[in-house]
A and B are shown apart, each in its own frame.
Chain A
Amino acid sequence: MSHVVPNLVNLDPRTAPPFPQAALPMLRNPQLRKNVGHAIDVIQSKRAKLVAEKTDWQELRSAAADIRMHVLENLGSYLEQFEANCTAAGGAVHWAADAEEARHIILDLLRQENASEVIKIKTMTSAEIQLNPFLEASGVRAYETDLAEIILQLGEGEPSHIVVPALHVNRSQVREIFARRMGLKDLSDDPQALTNAARHYLRQKFLTIPTAISGANFLCAETGSVSVVESEGNGRMCLTLPRAMITLAGIEKVVPRFQDLEVMLQLLARSATGERMNPYTSLWTGVTPGDGPQRFHVVLLDNGRSSMLAHPKQRQTLKCIRCAACMNACPVYRQTGGHAYGSVYPGPIGAILTPQLMQMHHAQSLPYASSLCGACYEVCPVKINIPEVLLELRAQVTDIERKTFSRFLDPMYLGLRIANLLFARAWTFHLAQWFGRIGLSLFTRKDGWIHSLPSMGGKWTQTRDLRGLPGQNFHEWWAARRKEAK
């Protein structure tokens, strides 16, 4: 059995290869494409049924979009409100400008707890700041408790989806990982047996490790509460047994009022897993004496987020509630899976979020990792117009390219700049058509089709033929017909 995840996976956007290149091994991997396609089909069909039964779905989407945009437009005051209310309830709020600061804050808090081990509820934000390897290097072993995260941690794999991170792994691969890492050589691939193995492994961690880390689905400004939604109950265990809890949350996760969760939770479960309600929705406010963690910290992470607020068209990216409906609907993600995106945030939302978190210094191929089909926007529960943001980011990438010398070596850049000049007048456009016809006729076979082209055209003809250009353009036909009529 080969390793579950090809070793080529690199989810650090600063060093990951460009999307077209990173996608290649995924496209060639039948197991991966089958696993991803199957998993997505299951989620998609469940989602479609539940959305169809909700007669006020569009109203809910509008409400959620308005709430989220309102938050972003008033983010500072809602964060301060959250801080005040969380602190009043016995929590401590820490502010981290970037990943490094967040990692150090968390490490310091763990050291205050004398923790050499910590249990974790699934949090993609911790993957964003590469927390686990940092803690490991600093002498703290982090144990994931979400089933998918356990699979990835034990299998030394990387997440390929934000809701179901091990979506690309099937159960025979899970069996192999568990058998190898848990020393269960007779383990079957029956889901019940796999679940039992995970349960046994987890029970020990829950009972012996008194410190936990979580992410947050929502922060409620009005009450200072934190909410985590999950399916397995591992989160609930992490929230009840440990003595100390550290929550890491992006600053955009705040909602104004407790009541707003009514809208958000209806949308999130249906969009994410195709359930009317997720099995475990946890909400906690500061510290409750004698119940749950007695020391509670929230680390609010910026890490590029506040810089996104300045752009009127792009800031909608931060409305995201991480449901992953966009990646489940995406025909590109369907073929490549998540690893090709070179980020813990894959799919359409990743294609717009990652380059912005990198402040456009990295991940510049991601805005182009979309055919602009619009399926993501159609399903987004908070109405993020992802195609619009993709186009905005493409314009920024092009503006960066305009300042580089290498643009003169990029046939796409040159071609489009020249095409623009040609389209400015009808006669230059018609001249270009004439040259195009002559040029392409050299490659046109007797059957009237082009089977192979050089340079950029070869990217087309590697899998498709192209019909040779017709002898008469439409405008020529029209002109000839006019002449005839006169």
Chain B
Amino acid sequence: MRASLFITCYNDTLYPETGRAVVRLLERLGVDLDFAPQQTCCGQMHANTGFRCEAFSQAKRFIRLYQDAETVVIPSSSCVAMIRDQYPGLVAELGNQELRQQFEALVPRVFELSEFLIDRLGVEDVGAYFPHRVTYHASCHGVRALHLGDRPWRLMAKVRGLDQVPLQNIDRCCGFGGTFSVKNAEVSSAMLAVKLQDVVATGAEYCTALDNSCLMHLGGAMHRQYAGMKTIHLAQILASTEDCPAEATL
């Protein structure tokens, strides 16, 4: 199976270890992975802040770049949600017929990481080993836009050594919301404070998710508060093995 990795601007810049983990994981599962060096951003930040023309120019770029890809895998629910939920409107409004056709042909081949593993590769046991207490934060886009359902749990259940701790109010927003975290910094912080209480109360060592944006928000507060917990993208847990544990790649 061939797949093209769209790493996202955010992961490329801030969380390369997540990208490395995706590569290690997918190659271990026999996926022939490529990476288009021209890739930049899906346009979510612009679209969500009201910069529609700018978001469209990035959407157009994305569609053109991946039109020949067999599948596109993206380790970020919110970027996949951007493509599925917002590209149609942008393309309909600002695009031409050719772009609309290219988009319609492409969108069924775009997968979030857990979708790719379960729906496309048909694997739940990825051969991972991660001997830690972990709690999973169901990010807003994963749960309400992509409807990931139990996919993350099916993957985590097969990770050897992983002790999964349930999180109260699991699908409540952490308050990140992209530029919301800056435009409404105080409200965002209040939401974060409440979320962090639930996360810390699990007593887990790690909080994981399929979005590094939420994890940056939670992790930033954990670090500030010496909360004694860390964040880790699920890709890094799934890539982790006895021989090459996740910590070594951090």
Q: Check A398/B182 contact, CB under 8 A, given A373-B173, A429-B9.
A: no
Q: Does A2 contact B (CB under 8 A)?
A: no
Q: Check A332/B16 contact, CB under 8 A, given A371-B173, A371-B175, A474-B7.
A: no
Is the Cβ of B186 less than 8 Å from the Cβ of A24? Answer: yes
Q: For residue A466, which residue of chain B has the nearest CB?
A: B220
Report which residue of B19, B57, B186, B217 has the largest number of chain A beta carbons within 10 angstroms of its beta carbon.
B186
Is the Cβ of B173 less than 8 Å from the Cβ of A459? Answer: no
Report which residue of A334, A419, A436 has the largest number of chain B beta carbons within 10 angstroms of its beta carbon.
A419
Q: Among the listed A367, A391, A419, A462, which residue makes an inter-chain contact with B45, where contact means beta carbons less than 8 Å apart? A: A419
Interface residues in A116-171 (C-beta closer than 8 Å to B): none
Is the Cβ of B20 less than 8 Å from the Cβ of A477? Answer: yes
Is the Cβ of B13 less than 8 Å from the Cβ of A456? Answer: no
The docked-state distance in angstroms from the alpha carbon of A391 to that of B177 is: 13
Q: Does A479 contact B (CB under 8 A)?
A: yes
Q: Does B124 contact A (CB under 8 A)?
A: no
Chain A residues, Cβ within 8 Å of B176? 371
Interface residues in A447-485 (C-beta closer than 8 Å to B): 449, 451, 456, 459-460, 462-467, 469-470, 472-479
Q: Check A336/B187 contact, CB under 8 A, given A449-B223, A460-B220, A475-B7.
A: yes
Query: B48-56, B102-110, B113-121: which lies at the A interface?
Result: B48-56
The docked-state distance in angstroms from the alpha carbon of A456 to that of B179 is: 10
Q: For residue A368, which residue of chain B has the nearest CB?
A: B183
Interface residues in A1-37 (C-beta closer than 8 Å to B): 19-20, 23-24, 27, 33
The docked-state distance in angstroms from the alpha carbon of A394 to that of B86 is: 14
Contact with B along A405-441 (1 / 0, CB 8 A): 0000000100011011011111001000100100000
Chain A residues, Cβ within 8 Å of B188? 371
Is the Cβ of A375 less than 8 Å from the Cβ of B173? Answer: yes
The docked-state distance in angstroms from the alpha carbon of A33 to that of B23 is: 45
Interface size on A, residues (CB 8 A): 67
Q: Does B163 contact A (CB under 8 A)?
A: no
Is the Cβ of A335 less than 8 Å from the Cβ of B16? Answer: no
Is the Cβ of A412 less than 8 Å from the Cβ of B179? Answer: yes
Q: Does A372 contact B (CB under 8 A)?
A: yes
Chain A residues, Cβ within 8 Å of B189? 462-464
Chain B residues, Cβ within 8 Å of A335? 187, 190-191, 194
Interface size on B, residues (CB 8 A): 67
The docked-state distance in angstroms from the alpha carbon of A464 to that of B223 is: 8
**Shortest Cβ distance from A470 into chain B, in angstroms?**
5
Q: Does A378 contact B (CB under 8 A)?
A: yes
The docked-state distance in angstroms from the alpha carbon of A399 to that of B7 is: 30
Q: Check A412/B183 contact, CB under 8 A, given A372-B140, A373-B140, A424-B57.
A: yes
**Shortest Cβ distance from B84 into chain A, in angstroms?**
13
Q: For residue B58, which residue of chain A has the nearest CB?
A: A423
Is the Cβ of B49 less than 8 Å from the Cβ of A394? Answer: yes
Report which residue of B38, B40, B176, B177 has the largest number of chain A beta carbons within 10 angstroms of its beta carbon.
B40
Contact with A along B53-67 (1 / 0, CB 8 A): 010011001000000
Contact with B along A206-248 (1 / 0, CB 8 A): 0000000000000000000000000000000000000000000
Contact with B along A387-412 (1 / 0, CB 8 A): 01001011111110000000000001
The docked-state distance in angstroms from the alpha carbon of A474 to that of B185 is: 29
The docked-state distance in angstroms from the alpha carbon of A20 to that of B189 is: 12
Is the Cβ of A474 less than 8 Å from the Cβ of B220? Answer: no
Chain A residues, Cβ within 8 Å of B191? 331-332, 334-335, 371
**Shortest Cβ distance from B249 into chain A, in angstroms?**
11
Q: Check A426/B40 contact, CB under 8 A, given A335-B190, A469-B13.
A: yes
Q: For residue B185, which residue of chain A has the nearest CB?
A: A459
Is the Cβ of A416 less than 8 Å from the Cβ of B49? Answer: yes
Q: Check A465/B224 contact, CB under 8 A, given A335-B194, A419-B46, A420-B54.
A: yes
Chain A residues, Cβ within 8 Å of B234? none
Q: Does A281 contact B (CB under 8 A)?
A: no
Chain B residues, Cβ within 8 Å of A313? 89
Q: Check A426/B49 contact, CB under 8 A, given A20-B184, A332-B187.
A: no
Q: Among the listed B15, B89, B177, which residue makes an inter-chain contact with A373, where contact means beta carbons less than 8 Å apart? A: B177
Q: Does B28 contact A (CB under 8 A)?
A: no
Contact with B along A272-305 (1 / 0, CB 8 A): 0000000000000000000000000000000000
Q: Among the listed A27, A369, A464, which residue makes an inter-chain contact with B221, where contact means beta carbons less than 8 Å apart? A: A464
The docked-state distance in angstroms from the alpha carbon of A153 to that of B55 is: 47
Q: Does B41 contact A (CB under 8 A)?
A: yes
Q: Does B153 contact A (CB under 8 A)?
A: no
Chain A residues, Cβ within 8 Å of B194? 331, 334-335
The docked-state distance in angstroms from the alpha carbon of A33 to that of B180 is: 20
Is the Cβ of B61 less than 8 Å from the Cβ of A474? Answer: no
Q: Among the listed A369, A467, A469, A473, which residue makes an inter-chain contact with B187, where contact means beta carbons less than 8 Å apart? A: A369
Q: Does A370 contact B (CB under 8 A)?
A: yes
**Shortest Cβ distance from B183 into chain A, in angstroms?**
5
8 contacts between A and B (CB under 8 A): A23-B187, A335-B187, A335-B191, A370-B180, A375-B144, A395-B52, A463-B193, A477-B19
What 9 A-B pairs are tightest by C-beta distance, nearest first? A371-B177, A464-B220, A394-B50, A398-B50, A474-B19, A373-B173, A420-B54, A373-B140, A474-B16
